[in-house]
Amino acid sequence: MGMSNLTRLSEFILIGLSSHPEDQKPLFALFLIMYLVTITGNLLIILAIRSDPKLQNPMYFFLSILSFADICYTTVIVPKMLVNFLSETKTISYAECLTQMYFFLVFGNIDSYLLAVMAIDRYVAICNPFPYVTVMKRRCCPLLLAFSVAFSCLHSLLHVLLVNRLTFCASNVIQHFFCDVNPVLKLACSSTFVNEVVAMTEGMASVMAPCICIIISYLRILIAVLNVPSVAGKCKAFSTCSSHLTVVTLFYGSITYVYFQPLSNYTVKDRIATIIYTVLTSMLNPFIYSLRNKDMKRGLEKLISRIKAQMDMLSTAQANKIHEP
């Protein structure tokens, strides 16, 4: 059979987190709960921000976009995982695999750039508080969001097109729970040199650029806060950044561990690390930002109270209809 007939597989097999049948149902239950918590938590964050006039500022605008991106990010991966946990075949078509890879990269990069934008937002708010609302809301917010989305789409398209040019002629078993770039590259029997060079140059730059922005922003914030005379002022400034720093550490720490290593070193440990930035971080974001932020906590309490009031009104209306002659 000629090589030209082997360049396109009809499907891949996702090995998942475990190949043991007894593990599948417990894993299904665990990830279903995590997915529902992620969707519910992030939706509550978005609704709380949209419904509270006091949360209409750039920081919460970007947080609502981050919550939306997290919902999309996990939805690209987890539903297919859940289906495969209960399926014997665990297959994914070639086209579906590349589509999943594209949107995974898109929303992952949007998350990365939004974290950098939020760090810049904190720097402007703390170091230049007087022109903050005018500069961030009217000029920078739309531009920063547009850049994050546009660059993420182009970056993802580049990597998917480079994968699409490869020849797959050996195994079709992906040692992962979704179509990530590195596990798919390991199946190629044609040269992946270009893919690896692009990943270690353009790919590294796309991750390091927002990371450097975050580091510089927080160094400037640290210098500014150290010049604040009162201890209370210093604590207040640091408290506004603590939630964001926690998310940044989880997200970039796990990404660095997984991707900044040679392709040949990719092992099962990387699958576990991938869960941190694909599922765990998205699930924890609502808790981190709400539990450590008084304004966000107040907004959520108001939203939940409003929802309860509406449910009580509906229950009362239904009860009245039942008792009508």
Confidence of residue 148 (pLDDT cuts 50, 70, 90): very high
Confidence of residue 19 (pLDDT cuts 50, 70, 90): confident
Interaxial angle between packed helices 94-127 and 58-85, expressed in degrees from 0 to 180 and rounded to the nearest 10: 160
- What's the pTM value of the predicted model, to 2 decimals? 0.88
Cα 104 from Cα 159, distance rounded (Å): 11
Helices (H), the chain: 21-51, 58-85, 94-127, 132-133, 141-164, 181-185, 193-198, 204-226, 231-259, 268-275, 281-291, 294-323
Reduced to 3 states (helix: H, G, I; strand: E, B; else coil), residue 92 is: strand
Helices (H), 227-267: 231-259
Report pLDDT digits (tens) over 84-109. Answer: 999 988 999 999 999 999 999 999 99
pLDDT value at residue 299: 87
Cα 162 from Cα 144, distance rounded (Å): 27
pLDDT value at residue 1: 40
277, 115 Cβ separation under 8 angstroms: no
Report pLDDT digits (tens) over 193-250. Answer: 999 899 888 888 888 899 899 999 989 888 888 887 777 767 776 776 778 888 888 8
Number of neighbours of residue 243 by Cβ within 10 angstroms: 20
Interaxial angle between packed helices 281-291 and 294-323, expressed in degrees from 0 to 180 and rounded to the nearest 10: 100
Cα 311 from Cα 22, distance rounded (Å): 41
314, 322 Cβ separation under 8 angstroms: no
Report pLDDT digits (tens) over 244-287. Answer: 888 888 888 888 777 776 666 666 677 788 898 889 999 999 88
Nearest in space to 177 (alpha carbons), one of 1, 39, 27, 63: 27
Cα 109 from Cα 112, distance rounded (Å): 5
pLDDT value at residue 325: 56
pLDDT value at residue 2: 42
Nearest in space to 242 (alpha carbons), one of 289, 188, 196, 200: 289
